[in-house]
Amino acid sequence: MPAEALPATASPLARQTAWLKTYQFALRLAEQGKVAAVGDGIAWVEGLPSAAMDEILRFEDGSEALVFHLGSRRIGAILLRQSEQLTAGTAAILTGRRLDIAVGDAYLGRVVDPLGRPLDGGPPLPASPRRPLEAASPPIIGRDFVRRPLISGNKIVDSMLPLGKGQRQLVIGDAGTGKSALALDMVIAQQGRNVRCVYVLISRKRSAVVATIEALRRTGALDYTCVVVAEATAMPGLKFLAPFAGCALAEAWMWVGRDVLVVYDDLSTHARTYRELSLLLRRPPGREAYPGDIFFLHSRLLERSTCLAAHCGGGSMTALPIVETEQGEIAAYIPTNLISITDGQIYLDPQLFARGFLPAIDVTRSVSRIGGKAQHPAIRAEAGRMKLDFLQFLELEVFTRFGSRLEASIEAKIRRGRLLRELLKQERLAPLSPEQHLAWLIAYNEGRFDGLEGDALMTALATLLARAAASPLTLNDGREAWRRAVIEWRKPP
């Protein structure tokens, strides 16, 4: 009986014996190539005419590489593992396999590299089930509209730039404007919300990697998060693969009906790594020396995040790609690409950051194109009024620079706007629940904060938020109930 015909419960020995009995000697031909040159994380290999794109090559010293460029005489491969012995002349064979990564709940709370190897010194991870790093995005028929909210815990995002589960929202801004801090806060805000998270760190310094993992661990967010790391010192091949590995991990959870949030920190470094690899492999450079398919690379990554329809399990993958701009230039090549791929962007402004308006989100240049549908009607109604006030204030504030005398009504609006700006500031690692959002929005719209300044304002806000957190009311309880129970703590002046 052949080994495949044995029952599933058959012992490994029985399987082996069955396999031996039916084994037939046959002539097998295999190609063997050899390395022509190696360096900069790239290997040029000769003598493998039937190599396919994206196939894994194995070298006799144990190194591995991914076929990335097919030339007429040589193939170019990006190295995934490299031993000291790998030099010109080392033999190479084709494995016929494509890259995949083990997935599943064992990855929660773990820090892994893009090939799924643990980096946290913990126990080894199970080898199956596995998912390919590159997979087709879900078909249109299998997708649903984005209609469930993803709570970010951030005052500005949840009120003015609401996110829905399955949305792809770009976080964009200059270096050091708080992009990673914002994304990390959103991961931390998922505590107790039954959302799994994947945080992908691409080409970060070890200090930044450790700080991120520590923040996750300290807040308890690591329990529902997997961190995929390709440090700055890692091989370029691993940095290139990191977002795809994170995506594959998230996708596995999405397909079993879970909600997942995945952060790619950041895709501008990823683009630069891809450019570096492509130039080393002598691909023709295009705009800003990036290879021509850089748009395709990022779009096929982000297309995989979506909200699945009920007949596909109803899971979702929300993506927060981060991109860095130079001197606020959002019209550069990679930022415009990503803006056009995603469903909206959160723009972080260096000037707001310098003035201490943290998080430095510039509302006028940020947008969420689909999340509004997912926002709770109670919050939408309150936030609409507040947003109008805030945008009007931003326009009017420009006039105050000239120092001219203003009408009393305009002055009142500006005073209220300044108050609102203070209220919108938010510390790191202090996410708000939707109920707390509703409470402060109603309190602001009712004018309960008017006349307060500085510490008094912060104390009033903190008291209100604490009352809202302790209150049994939910978002569906109606404005009146909220007003009476939580907001009436302070009579308008």
Ligand X SMILES: Nc1ncnc2c1ncn2[C@@H]1O[C@H](COP(=O)(O)OP(=O)(O)OP(=O)(O)O)[C@@H](O)[C@H]1O
Residues labelled as active-site residues: 369
161, 366 in Cβ contact below 8 A? yes
Q: What are the helix (H) ranges across 285-341? A: 294-302, 333-341
Site for ligand X in 344-383 (CB under 6 A): 358-359
Nearer to ligand X, 153 or 371 (CB): 153
180 lines the binding site for Mg ion (CB under 5 A) = yes
Cα-based torsion angle of the residue sequence 464, 467, 472, 475 in order, rounded to the nearest 10 degrees: 10
Nearest residue to 251 (alpha-carbon basis) of 75, 372, 350, 131: 131
Q: CB within 8 A of 355, min separation 6: which ones?
A: none
Cα-based torsion angle of the residue sequence 436, 438, 439, 443 in order, rounded to the nearest 10 degrees: 140
The 3-state DSSP class for residue 434 equals helix
Q: By rule CB under 6 A, what string of x and - marks binding of each residue 129-168 to ligand X?
A: ----------------------------------------
430 lines the binding site for ligand X (CB under 6 A) = no
Among 37, 52, 88, 175, binds ligand X (CB under 6 A): 175
Nearer to ligand X, 187 or 254 (CB): 187
Give the span between the Cα atoms of 462 and 478, in whole angstroms. 22
490 lines the binding site for ligand X (CB under 6 A) = no
Among 324, 349, 382, 435, binds ligand X (CB under 6 A): 324
Give the span between the Cα atoms of 483 and 92, in whole angstroms. 72
179 lines the binding site for ligand X (CB under 6 A) = yes
Written as one letter, the residue type at 303 is E
Among 39, 49, 62, 176, binds ligand X (CB under 6 A): 176
The 3-state DSSP class for residue 358 equals coil
Nearer to Mg ion, 421 or 428 (CB): 428
190 lines the binding site for ligand X (CB under 6 A) = no
Give the span between the Cα atoms of 356 and 152, in whole angstroms. 21
Residue 177 binds what, of ligand X, Mg ion, none (CB under 5 to 8 Å, by partner type)? ligand X
Query: How many residues belong to the site for ligand X (CB under 6 A)?
Result: 14
Phi, psi of 190 (to 5 degrees): -80, 0
Does residue 129 have a cis bond before it (omega within 30 degrees)? yes
325 lines the binding site for ligand X (CB under 6 A) = no
Smallest distance from ligand X to CB 209, Å: 12
269 lines the binding site for Mg ion (CB under 5 A) = no
Residue nearest to Mg ion (CB): 180
Smallest distance from Mg ion to CB 204, Å: 7
Per CB under 5 A, residues contacting Mg ion are 180
Q: Which residues bind ligand X (CB under 6 A)?
A: 173, 175-181, 324, 358-359, 426-428
